[in-house]
Amino acid sequence: MITNNELFIKAAEKNYELFKVPTNMVKAKKTTRFYTAEQKADLDIKTSVNKIGDIINLSQELQTHMWHQLNHGAKYKDIEEVYFDICQLAVLSNLAIDAAKKEFDITIADELRKLKEKWIRRDDTGRVIKPFFFGFLAKEKGYYNPEKKNYMHHDTSMDYLHMISAY
């Protein structure tokens, strides 16, 4: 975002030293490809199980959780672990995008599964907690399931936007 809005600039400067830009340090092997039918098929197979949507959704869930905590008085040390995992998800999304050009020594699906298991949150009835605005998306796509998922309101920008748009 490019802006000269003082409010946005002050907000960015407030935590500039804490929230760094995630950096990809994963070693990659560049893949030279020729556009033969065989190599196109190989590329299609290697990129067919693309996890970008899952990565982005988990990242948004964790960001919702993190900002909800911060908006309720948590300090950086309280959210540092979840923040680092959000950064790892940012790197994973870049790896998934670059998978057509490079090969990596990690398996994106395995890394994603570990993070999902680590951060699953459940309410008192055992339902998986999801951000409130995810319920709207689930209804649109036809997989809304309030018996298994608790689309809980969080004090975060996406849930605020959803509430405003409902009026």
Residue 139 lies in a domain: yes
pLDDT, residue 1, reads 73
Same domain, 127 and 103: no
Record the pTM: 0.81
SS (H, E, C) 29-84: EECCCCCCHHHHHHHHHHHCCCCHHHHHHHHHHHHHHHHHHHCCCCCHHHHHHHHH
| Beta bridge mates, 30 | 102
Average pLDDT, stretch 146-159? 94
Same domain, 116 and 127: no
Structure-token pair, residue 116: 């999902």
Other CB atoms within 10 Å distance of the CB of residue 39? 13
The label of the residue with tokens 């993070």 reads 115
Same domain, 85 and 130: no
Contact yes or no for 132/154 (Cβ under 8 A):
yes
Residues above pLDDT 70, as percent of the chain: 98
Helix (H, G, I), strand (E, B) or coil at 95: helix
Same domain, 44 and 105: yes
Number of domains in the chain: 2
